[in-house]
Amino acid sequence: MTRRSGWGATASAFVGGVLLLVSQATLAFNNLFGGLEGATPPNILLIIADDYGIDVSELYTKTGDIPPAPTISKIARHGIKFNRAWSYPTCTPTRASIITGQYGFRTDVRFALFPPGPSLPGGQSPPPGGIDVGNPYTLPKVLKDAGLGYTTAAIGKWHLTTGPALPPGGGGSIAYLLNDPYEAGFDYFAGFFAGAVPDYFNWNKLINNGPTVIGPVPTTTYTTTDQVNEAKNFIANQGHDPWFLWLALNAPHDPFQLPPEDLVPQNIVDE
């Protein structure tokens, strides 16, 4: 039997790479829930921490000066911790594989996306385009096509697609295709498109409300706080309807800045 690679392969291939809750929503929902009529599909929250490796996680590393992360540890204690797992060492390939269910050699997203021009070690040029937002098998599209009534949102860092370079005088920046989250299957997006913000307290926010692009809007709210507030508002607005939320925090990616004092659980000296 021929199997199509990616989220569109088979139900088992789709659920194997992400979450148990996703499997309940997309595999055989009625069978898993005993065929109960009127049952509501589960809500799905997928949180991505940017550049947060096992070397700084108390769940995997027991030596050295490990920053405390009590909420992450609590989630692990009450859920499932994978001891045999593999991930890309950079941000874009990791999220590209999650959203498509494909390896980097299939998505052709094997490096973090850069502005057009710079070469990678060995003289290689990074692929400029990122994922194919027209791919019918992205994670949010599969959930929506299942006919279970999901509303989808992506909040935080995008960094999955780029457009051509800006005209001369654009500072070598990337001209992003600002409705790409919508084209990839998300009903709502709020965050930023680049690999990082220049300042956690001073950055430009973009919003996709469907195909409508709002921004960039200069924002001085600490990025993690803004992203969590956006997530809470999205969830609250869904009522009893099922939702899928891709919450891609840019923390703890650089620049390395102390958060607001009310978010710091212990005394940290700013050196």
Which residues, 6 or more positions from 244, have their beta carbon under 8 angstroms from its beta carbon?
Answer: 25, 43, 44, 46, 139, 140, 143, 150, 151, 152, 153
How far apart (Å, rounded) are the C-alpha atoms in residues 252 and 183?
28
Query: Per the residue annotation, which of 78, 91, 240, 253 is the catalytic one?
Result: 91
Q: How far is CA 2 from CA 16, 28, 54, 71, 226, in A?
A: 18, 21, 36, 42, 45
* Burial (0-12, 13-18, 19+ Cβ within 10 Å), 111: middle
Active site residue 91: yes
Query: Per the residue annotation, which of 78, 159, 240, 253 is the catalytic one?
Result: 159
Active site residue 240: no
How far apart (Å, rounded) are the C-alpha atoms in residues 147 and 176?
31
- Give, as one character, the DSSP assignment of residue 121: G
How far apart (Å, rounded) are the C-alpha atoms in residues 219 and 47?
22
189 has which bridge partners? 154, 208
- In the sheet that 212-219 helps form, which strands lie side by side, from edge to edge? 44-49, 243-249, 151-157, 188-192, 203-209, 212-219
How far apart (Å, rounded) are the C-alpha atoms in residues 82 and 67?
20
**Active site positions, annotated:** 91, 159
